[in-house]
Amino acid sequence: MTETVHAPRYTTYVPLTDLNPALGNPKKHEVERIIESIRTHGFVDQPIADERTGTILGGHGRREALIEMQARGEQLPAGLLLDHDGGWLVPVQRGWASRSDVEAKALNIKLNLIGADGGWRPRSLAAYLEDIVTEDAALYDSLAIPDEKLEDLLRQVDPETLPGAINEDQAPVLHLPDDGGDGGLDDGGLSADDEGRARLITCPDCGHAFTPGR
């Protein structure tokens, strides 16, 4: 006989208007970038509810983005449901309860800090970026990585370990999907024949070239 086990964590769909933010939430958000991500990929990262306080911990930026999208009259994002009145229902992770206000505040900070503080594996990131920009330049642009941040990451990459590296005298080159020339790279500016083509930036140490996010 199968025993029914109570799930300590579960998902329920909650009206967007019922998502209560944590009082004094300190995290700022790039709402427009979150909106663009939801438009492109759907709603994939659930807010986390605190059963003790009835507020959310993770997900404040996504809440703001959804409220703005609804106010603009945008269509229902993938991953959400409509209630009988046309309101938006948002998937929320339920089942966790803080022991105190200070624990809730500590977890709020951790949810925002831990992922960002982990950093990146530069070689793996460079390989991911090359795959993305080669297959879908618009999707790469949506990453909106600042030029200086990208260059800093690429300085940590050994060119011999990147896809396409042949020898120490021939650094790997990233070819854009619309690159109809001979594959050569200049200083990254636009020539008379390059009107409309995205500018390239090149890692000063390894010579790897990328289109910067806009």
**pLDDT at position 186, please?**
43
Q: 60-71 vs 31-41: helix axis angle to the nearest 10?
A: 80
Same domain, 157 and 94: no
pTM above 0.85, yes or no: no
Domain boundary among 85, 117, 149: 117
**Whether the Cβ atoms of residue 63 and residue 29 lie closer than 8 Å to each other:** no
Domain boundary among 86, 117, 148: 117
Instruction: Report the CATH number at residue 89.
Output: 3.90.1530
In a domain, 155, yes or no: yes
Same domain, 59 and 133: no
**pLDDT at position 206, please?**
52
In a domain, 1, yes or no: no
Choice between 55 and 200, residue whose per-residue pLDDT is larger: 55
Same domain, 98 and 162: no
Same domain, 21 and 73: yes
Q: Which residue has the tokens 């004094």?
A: 24
| Residue range 146-202, pLDDT digits in tens | 888 888 877 777 666 555 554 444 444 444 444 444 444 344 433 344 444 455 555
Q: Report how many domains make up the chain.
A: 2
The pair phi, psi for residue 116, each rounded to 5°, is: -70, -35
**Whether the Cβ atoms of residue 108 and residue 96 lie closer than 8 Å to each other:** no
In a domain, 5, yes or no: no
| Residue range 73-90, pLDDT digits in tens | 999 999 999 999 999 999
Same domain, 73 and 146: no
Phi-psi label, residue 206: left if phi above 0, alpha if psi -120 to 50, beta otherwise:
alpha
In a domain, 194, yes or no: yes
Residue 126: give the domain boundaries.
Answer: 122-210
Number of neighbours of residue 139 by Cβ within 10 angstroms: 12
